Amino acid sequence: MKILIIGAGPAGLSFAALAAEADPTREITLIERNAADAHPGFGITLRSDGISWLKLHSMNSFQHLEGRSFRYRGNIMVDYPNPPSAHLVTVSRAALLTGLSELSCRSSVRVRFQIDAGRLSQTDLDQFDMVVAADGANSVLRTRYEREFAPLVQLSRNRYGWFGANTALRKLTIMLNDADGVLLAWGYQYSESMSTLIVECSEPSMKKLRLEEMSPRETSETIGKFLASDLCGASVDCGNCVRWTKFPRVSCARLRYRNIVLIGDAAHTTHFSQGFGTMFAFDDAQALCSSLTATRKVPEALELYEASQQPKIAQFQEASSRSMEWSESLIEAAESRNGDRVRELIDARWPKNEAPPCPGVATAKEPLGTGITRD
């Protein structure tokens, strides 16, 4: 079987490793539009109860968060230990992708970088028995065959950007500050000295703070000052650029067309406030691999995969949408100076300190047995 995978993110790389391990006779090619050393992003979250399933515990760069915290105007409003059932584990996105890339290469997957999938013709795609589109929320193939996949893309009201901070936030920390405009930030440690910051802002606050007019350095300095009491004066980093985007909630009526199948963010997205994205990508990879094991006929395998994943997508996107609406309501209440509503929403965030169900944990059937190591 000849398989083409488009996209070297968590979804594409994990499926490549799983598919190669399940059947070493498969000819698997993975293409990525970026260079081999281009790993954008800071840290990502996984679930502790998903680490053993994926056999990722041999990586030496995981950080285990110690609980959850909510800070409002610099004051601690909520301070919880980890839920009994599961907690968040974080890792540098670059470290995770490097580990998955090494695993894929050891499994004889042919990985080619700086290849633009948009240039592939239908004839090129027809040379493969199966084409796996794992190329993110702006998937080239999903866009090309929009009529067949019938995607629905709904944008959030607020905008958000990814940043890093040179401090170790040992708990998942939500920070709300309304000193002059309103910013809502989600922070967590992903290395011994660095944390991810996902900063959310409404359009009125975006204009009031003039964030779109700022250079990357000015943006980092502004956010650092705005959240200084929460970050203990740590500096904020935005990398080479700042992108304030509206979150796209992507869902598709169909996940398969001919020999093409969508996985990961190409098939569905879940809001960053829920932290499901990477685990869902792994779950898609596992489900697709299991479907290929159940039947070697690609059309039947893709039908099985779609039947397995569509109910999960509906379930977890519903939870994700509620979380997105919660953050939008929180910012709206802060902007209107409705203190009672703000506190009501804070109290509602983690009722009884429970951990919600997560894709790829209870639903997993087979582990990724090869393991991942870092030199």
Q: What is the pLDDT of residue 98?
A: 85
User: Both tokens of residue 285?
Assistant: 């990879």
- Answer whether residue 99 shows pLDDT above 90: no
Please state, in angstroms and rounded to a whole number, the distance separating the CA atoms of residues 268 and 250: 5
- Answer whether residue 108 shows pLDDT above 50: yes
**Residue 368 pLDDT grade (very low, low, confident, very high; cuts 50, 70, 90):** very low
Q: What is the pLDDT of residue 37?
A: 79
Please state, in angstroms and rounded to a whole number, the distance separating the CA atoms of residues 111 and 88: 30
Average pLDDT, the chain: 90
Q: Which residues are CB-neighbours of 210 under 8 A, at least 6 positions away?
A: none
Question: DSSP states of 19-71 as a string?
Answer: HHHH-TT-EEEEEESS-TT----SEEEEEHHHHHHHT-TT-S--EE--EEEEE
* CA 226-231-236 angle, 5° bins: 70
Please state, in angstroms and rounded to a whole number, the distance separating the CA atoms of residues 364 and 280: 11
- Answer whether residue 53 shows pLDDT above 70: no
Mean pLDDT throughout 192-204? 95
CA distance to 2, 12, 129, 187, 190, per residue, from 298 (Å): 11, 18, 7, 42, 39
Rounded to 5 degrees, φ, ψ at 182 are -130, 130
User: Both tokens of residue 366?
Assistant: 């087979």
**Residue 70 pLDDT grade (very low, low, confident, very high; cuts 50, 70, 90):** very high
Q: Which of 46-55, 63-72, 340-349 has the weakest average pLDDT?
A: 46-55
Please state, in angstroms and rounded to a whole number, the distance separating the CA atoms of residues 36 and 32: 8
Please state, in angstroms and rounded to a whole number, the distance separating the CA atoms of residues 333 and 127: 55
User: Both tokens of residue 238?
Assistant: 């935005």
CA distance to 122, 206, 256, per residue, from 303 (Å): 21, 44, 8
Q: Are strands 130-133 and 2-6 parallel, antiparallel or unpaired?
A: parallel
CA distance to 30, 41, 52, 98, per residue, from 91 (Å): 23, 11, 15, 12
- Answer whether residue 230 shows pLDDT above 50: yes
**Which residue ranges form the domains of the chain, and what is each CATH number?**
2-155+245-353 (3.50.50.60)
| First-to-last C-alpha distance (Å) of the chain | 32
**Residue 50 pLDDT grade (very low, low, confident, very high; cuts 50, 70, 90):** low
Q: What is the pLDDT of residue 373?
A: 28
Q: Which residues are CB-neighbours of 90 under 8 A, at least 6 positions away?
A: 43, 44, 45, 46, 62, 63, 65, 188, 189, 190, 196
Mean pLDDT throughout 218-236? 93
CA distance to 92, 136, 212, 279, 327, per residue, from 131 (Å): 28, 15, 38, 22, 37
Helix (H, G, I), strand (E, B) or coil at 301: helix
Please state, in angstroms and rounded to a whole number, the distance separating the CA atoms of residues 140 and 134: 10
CA neighbor of 82 nearest in space, from 51, 42, 47: 47
**Residue 374 pLDDT grade (very low, low, confident, very high; cuts 50, 70, 90):** very low
Q: At what angle do helices 298-335 and 277-294 cross, to 10 degrees?
A: 170
Q: Tens digits of per-residue pLDDT, 116-131?
A: 999 999 999 999 999 9
Q: Which residues are CB-neighbours of 149 under 8 A, at least 6 positions away?
A: 142, 252, 253, 254, 255, 257, 262
DSSP element (H, E) containing 279: helix 277-294
Biggest CA–CA distance in the chain, Å, is: 63
Q: Which of 17-26, 162-171, 355-364 has the weakest average pLDDT?
A: 355-364
User: What pTM, to 2 d.p., does this model score?
Assistant: 0.92
The answer to whether the CB of 17 falls within 8 A of the CB of 132 is no
pLDDT top residue among 236 and 36 = 236
Q: Are strands 172-177 and 67-72 parallel, antiparallel or unpaired?
A: parallel
pLDDT top residue among 53 and 363 = 53
Q: Tens digits of per-residue pLDDT, 283-339?
A: 999 999 999 999 989 999 999 999 999 999 999 999 999 999 999 999 999 999 999
Question: E strands along the chain, which residues?
Answer: 2-6, 27-32, 43-47, 63-64, 67-72, 75-81, 88-92, 110-113, 130-133, 151-165, 172-177, 183-189, 195-201, 236-237, 245-252, 256-257, 260-262
